[in-house]
């Protein structure tokens, strides 16, 4: 269903203000660049990706992320890019490569895994150019339980240095995402200090940290001090409350304080909304936006 059709249909019986009591269709509603993903508002506007992105822009969101962008058709990638450009929205991360959840790849030092990863990085350069993206997510994969951690770290750093050489001429950045032990047991990269150490060793503007607040609340807590300590290597944030991995205000994280800290540090990048919704249907979509308005009101 087209956005215009949707709005005309419902304006017959209900005003936009009564459907959405917050300032739904204004720009620059939020202090920070929160980035929804496809599916977050499909109950309101339907399944069409372009309708969804336009609706995100109408709500005041200034960014968009799509983990699965690499797998979408070139035609759809081009349409998404044009829509983002027309609506003044930034493109967030997409996943750059195949992630190995249950076997070592980059940590192993195996040449086949290394070359496979680097080929994905080369392909991702073309995707990034097509959709005007700057950042791409990298997860180094599973631990190699037969190797000392220091050898594994050296293997990862070596591969990431080569990947950085591929990305740097294009001004692109891979962001390393530490993931928590509960949702993803056995992975090599789990903590923000570990990611910081690796980025410092790679020593490239094309290798930075994706600080996922949900994952790091579970893995290490102490969120604001850890964000502060790793700040110089952070290029991207993702969001999700804990427990539940839903929108802010549904769990234990004081997102208003976390967002305020990030804002006052001068961050002008993107914060990906990589979480679900605590309620179903259109009411759940309204509740999601209300939660962001509340958490952003600092």
Q: Tens digits of per-residue pLDDT, 126-153?
A: 999 999 999 999 999 999 999 999 999 9
CA–CA gap between residue 82 and residue 69 (Å, rounded): 14
Domain ranges of the chain: 29-91+246-298, 97-238
pTM across the whole model: 0.91
Residue 25 has pLDDT above 80, yes or no: no
> How high is the pLDDT of residue 190?
98
Average pLDDT score over residue span 207-234: 98
Beta strands across the sheet bearing 234-238: 33-35, 270-272, 234-238, 207-212, 173-176, 135-138
229: three-class secondary structure by DSSP = helix
Distances (CA, A) of 213 to 5, 36, 96, 133, 192: 38, 15, 20, 22, 10
> How high is the pLDDT of residue 29?
82
pLDDT-wise least confident of 9-13, 45-49, 122-126, 181-185: 9-13
Distances (CA, A) of 220 to 124, 190, 255: 31, 9, 16
> pLDDT tens digit string along 41-69?
999 999 999 999 999 999 999 999 999 99
Fold of domain 97-238: TIM Barrel (3.20.20)
> pLDDT tens digit string along 95-132?
999 999 999 999 999 999 999 999 999 999 999 999 99
> How high is the pLDDT of residue 85?
98
> pLDDT tens digit string along 248-264?
999 999 999 999 999 99
Average pLDDT score over residue span 202-222: 98
CA–CA gap between residue 170 and residue 159 (Å, rounded): 18
> How high is the pLDDT of residue 10?
40
> How high is the pLDDT of residue 11?
39
Average pLDDT score over residue span 205-221: 98
> How high is the pLDDT of residue 9?
38
> How high is the pLDDT of residue 224?
98
Residue 17 has pLDDT above 90, yes or no: no
Residue 6 has pLDDT above 60, yes or no: no
CA–CA gap between residue 231 and residue 115 (Å, rounded): 31
């Amino acid at each position: 269903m087209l956005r215009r059709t949707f709005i005309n249909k419902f304006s017959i019986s209900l005003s936009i203000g009564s459907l959405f009591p917050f300032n739904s269709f204004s720009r620059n509603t939020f202090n920070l660049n929160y980035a929804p993903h496809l599916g977050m508002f499909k109950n309101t506007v339907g399944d069409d990706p372009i309708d969804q992105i336009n609706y995100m822009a109408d709500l005041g969101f200034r960014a968009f992320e799509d983990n699965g962008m690499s797998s979408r058709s070139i035609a759809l990638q081009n349409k998404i890019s044009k829509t983002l450009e027309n609506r003044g929205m930034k493109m967030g991360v997409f996943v750059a490569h195949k992630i190995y959840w249950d076997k070592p790849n980059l940590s192993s030092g195996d040449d086949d895994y290394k070359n496979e990863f680097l080929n994905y990085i080369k392909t991702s350069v073309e995707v990034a150019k097509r959709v005007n993206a700057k950042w791409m997510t990298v997860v180094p994969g599973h631990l190699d339980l037969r190797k000392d951690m220091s050898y594994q770290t050296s293997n990862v750093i070596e591969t990431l240095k080569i990947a950085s050489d591929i990305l740097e001429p294009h001004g692109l950045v891979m962001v390393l995402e530490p993931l928590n032990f509960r949702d993803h047991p056995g992975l090599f990269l789990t903590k923000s200090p570990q990611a910081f150490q690796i980025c410092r060793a790679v020593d490239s503007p094309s290798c930075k940290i994706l600080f996922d607040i949900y994952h790091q609340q579970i893995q290490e807590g102490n969120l604001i001090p850890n964000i502060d300590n790793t700040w110089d290597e952070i290029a991207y944030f993702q969001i999700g409350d804990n427990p539940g991995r839903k929108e802010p205000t549904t769990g234990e994280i004081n997102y208003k304080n976390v967002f305020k800290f990030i804002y006052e540090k001068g961050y002008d990048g993107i914060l990906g909304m990589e979480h679900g919704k605590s309620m179903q249907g259109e009411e759940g979509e309204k509740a999601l936006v209300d939660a962001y308005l509340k958490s952003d009101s600092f």
